[in-house]
Chains A and B, each alone.
Chain A
């Protein structure tokens, strides 16, 4: 089985993110980057599927500036066979459709049996890239996957629903799955892996010149504003209680 894993490089979890001077993106200087966590699980799932079947290939693909190559190398060190780097310096100016288009262009030539991505990114958290990518490639997809099993007909996957419920779906190949964190145990990078990764192929492809204007544009990036509003309710206890119920029902909408 040929598996493509689409990964994203995101700022480290504990990085102190600052807004860039123009207010359109974050200040990237001084930031350290790492693999998006759900993508790490997608890669792990791909590696395990390959190991279980004993054959196949795992190709990692990532769009972004040159720095994403370190994350690709790490993926190669963990066991991926090849890597594709889509050069894109201004990822911030693209919308989901734009990013998915970049990925689709690179992935199409590979014609994989299965595409895995994390269910969402740690930085923007839109959770759409995988789904849009599947649409662009015209293949079926399933989201929030906890477990994947290869069957003779295709795949049997376990989806996470809410409230501790799970759904089992059987689907044909080729397909795209977005993987949930925590389904597997991640592996650590080894010295042997890093050394082997040096000889593995890391292909760089240029992003096509922008054809479509972004349908969604980023207006302003800002840190969440903390606000506290206190309103004093007056009246007899009965009146106050009635007002509270009213507010909880219609303003806070929690009851």
Chain B
């Protein structure tokens, strides 16, 4: 005990002695940054040489990249407006790092500290290099200097800790999203950043004179000189271009640009790659957030959205932006002749459900869905995509105007049986049936129940006499001919019937009519039945406490930002349970992008993964708001669960509480 106290006392004495002796020993812990007192002309010359060399190496790589971007085809539909939104997103996503942090809080925050640290360091680095040629402008002793260098020191500390954390994450925790192969270049970059910070902080511990300060100064300088050319050679290119990418990204979520001119069939070859796509491809930082959330990549399919982006980049590097070489390889061969063929394949492009989680997650402004749909357009519009199911779907749409390939008579019979009034301009709403509502047995139940809800509320509605598919599956599978034909015929039908307001049960229909049809004309105002019912929730019956887990459809949530309305409807029908992945992180049912109509999936079924998750919540009911999700889960829930929860659309959840007298007698079929 006594001995311990003695040792501790001795230790204290020693530390005190060190501090007292600090000047004697040359260790100078001060609040002022030490700067080398003098640079010989040889040193200055050497510095200039290093900087010129570094800049040359930087531009030797950055130049060709910039040329590839600038020489890519112009984006015909690009417009800077709305500038306000662009400025806001730049502020939020770049300066505040909102997306980086929100979707991956811990590594996101670490990244944000490094980013903010870099910003704080810009002035420090400039002054640092200027010192080397005797042009330093920020004196460490001045008030501004004193304050700023300490401010930067605080950031240096945060950056050093953060980058060390990120290094540990990448090399020891090793999340699979970062790729199977360890990226050693990232290790080098992390090391250089760490070195930059340590060599800066070190200058607070030495005196202005002497070798130590010079050594630190040169270490810092060399780290800078090596760092610069590494930027364009690695994914750290995002440092330079991703702020521009975020600012310039196409307005609107998952927006598919119109084809420009008679020679544009989508992304067939390099010549079709637009400037925005090039810019986005070079911005990819390979963080793998897109992969992490991709339903295809998570169920053993070939598609990996990150590889699509890297494939475009690798194509541009190899062939350039005016090449005629096809972008898509037929399928991923064992030994592809070109590097990009390993990444871009027809097979992968047609496995996308267009759920948009990749695009939603991307922190550098890459818009994956337009790229993937663009590749599909290139394949479908030229007839290169040969798929029995796809052809069957397109022929059904050409011939029958509905995706299910049934005769229009079937819809007529259903309308008659339900005694739905035909829209004649006197009713408030045009009730859009859609392919599912008009032809699919389960979809018909949903439509019939929603019609009952409208009747209960006393809202007048009518259905169109003839209705064709909105063209959604053709649009997402890249068949512009079928899509345009259907869009034009749909717009005409609404115009002829003088429709003012539409309500639909299918988020795909709503999105396609409201957004995609704009290319060909102005559609009447359309809303999803969740929005309609949420608006009238005070007049809808409140039910008991059955637990209901709500599944966010991709085309309602991410595509249209409608999250709360369906929840309000579910909350009326029972107690709302959230799925492990919900809201903007909801996991796809597997039906989108026209995939509901294609053949069997490779690997695990997307619907099974999601159904397991929904059943796993223990909720008594699975609540859906999209007839496609509903149809996917109908089979999946029975397959994954022995006692599957009930599966009901929000319209059915509401209609079941409507007093029997309000219900119409008779079956749905």
Closest approach, in angstroms, between the C-beta of B382 and any C-beta of chain A? 5
Other A-B contacts than A190-B481, A191-B382, A194-B481, 13 sampled, CB-CB below 8 A, are A13-B407, A14-B408, A186-B391, A188-B391, A188-B398, A188-B482, A189-B398, A190-B380, A190-B382, A190-B383, A190-B479, A192-B383, A193-B481
Q: When each residue 156-196 of chain A gets 1 if its CB lies under 8 Å from chain B and 0 otherwise, what string results? A: 00000000000000000000000000000111111111110
Q: When each residue 363-394 of chain B gets 1 if its CB lies under 8 Å from chain A and 0 otherwise, what string results? A: 00000000000000000111100001011001
Within 8 A of B (CB), among A227-255: none
Q: When each residue 1-38 of chain A gets 1 if its CB lies under 8 Å from chain B and 0 otherwise, what string results? A: 00000000000111010000000000000000010000
A80 and B359 alpha carbons, distance in the complex (Å): 41
- In the complex, the answer to whether A192 meets B391 with C-beta atoms within 8 Å is no
- In the complex, the answer to whether B399 meets A195 with C-beta atoms within 8 Å is no
Consensus secondary structure, chain A interface: loop
List 21 A-B residue pairs with CB atoms under 8 Å apart, sorted by A's residue number: A13-B407, A14-B408, A186-B391, A186-B395, A187-B391, A188-B383, A188-B394, A188-B395, A188-B482, A189-B394, A190-B380, A190-B382, A190-B383, A190-B479, A191-B259, A191-B382, A192-B265, A192-B381, A192-B382, A192-B383, A194-B481
A187 and B385 alpha carbons, distance in the complex (Å): 11
- Asked whether B516 is an interface residue with its Cβ less than 8 Å from the other chain, the reply is no
Of the four ranges (under 10, 10 to 19, 20 to 34, 35 or more), the interface on chain B belongs to: 20 to 34
Partner of B480, one of A185, A187, A191: A191
CB contact under 8 A between A191 and B407, given known A34-B399, A185-B388, A186-B395: no
- Asked whether B99 is an interface residue with its Cβ less than 8 Å from the other chain, the reply is no
- Asked whether B332 is an interface residue with its Cβ less than 8 Å from the other chain, the reply is no
Of the four ranges (under 10, 10 to 19, 20 to 34, 35 or more), the interface on chain A belongs to: 10 to 19
A86 and B217 alpha carbons, distance in the complex (Å): 89
A191 and B262 alpha carbons, distance in the complex (Å): 9
Taking CB atoms, residues of chain B closer than 8 Å to A14 are 400, 407-409
Q: When each residue 26-47 of chain B gets 1 if its CB lies under 8 Å from chain A and 0 otherwise, what string results? A: 0000000000000000000000
- In the complex, the answer to whether A187 meets B400 with C-beta atoms within 8 Å is no
Partner of B383, one of A185, A186, A193: A193
For A196, the closest partner residue in chain B by CB is: B262
Taking CB atoms, residues of chain A closer than 8 Å to B262 are 195
For B483, the closest partner residue in chain A by CB is: A191
Closest approach, in angstroms, between the C-beta of A114 and any C-beta of chain B? 24
Taking CB atoms, residues of chain B closer than 8 Å to A185 are 388, 391
- In the complex, the answer to whether A191 meets B391 with C-beta atoms within 8 Å is no
- In the complex, the answer to whether B407 meets A189 with C-beta atoms within 8 Å is no
A194 and B485 alpha carbons, distance in the complex (Å): 12
A13 and B410 alpha carbons, distance in the complex (Å): 13
For B478, the closest partner residue in chain A by CB is: A191
Taking CB atoms, residues of chain B closer than 8 Å to A187 are 383, 391
A192 and B382 alpha carbons, distance in the complex (Å): 5
A187 and B383 alpha carbons, distance in the complex (Å): 8
For A186, the closest partner residue in chain B by CB is: B395
Closest approach, in angstroms, between the C-beta of A44 and any C-beta of chain B? 11
Taking CB atoms, residues of chain B closer than 8 Å to A34 are 399
A186 and B394 alpha carbons, distance in the complex (Å): 11
Taking CB atoms, residues of chain B closer than 8 Å to A190 are 380-383, 479, 481
- In the complex, the answer to whether A191 meets B398 with C-beta atoms within 8 Å is no
- In the complex, the answer to whether B400 meets A191 with C-beta atoms within 8 Å is no
For B259, the closest partner residue in chain A by CB is: A191
Taking CB atoms, residues of chain B closer than 8 Å to A186 are 391, 395
- In the complex, the answer to whether A191 meets B481 with C-beta atoms within 8 Å is yes
Taking CB atoms, residues of chain B closer than 8 Å to A193 are 383, 481
Closest approach, in angstroms, between the C-beta of A63 and any C-beta of chain B? 22
Closest approach, in angstroms, between the C-beta of A122 and any C-beta of chain B? 12
Most chain A C-beta atoms within 10 Å of own C-beta, residue among B383, B400, B408 = B383
For B408, the closest partner residue in chain A by CB is: A14
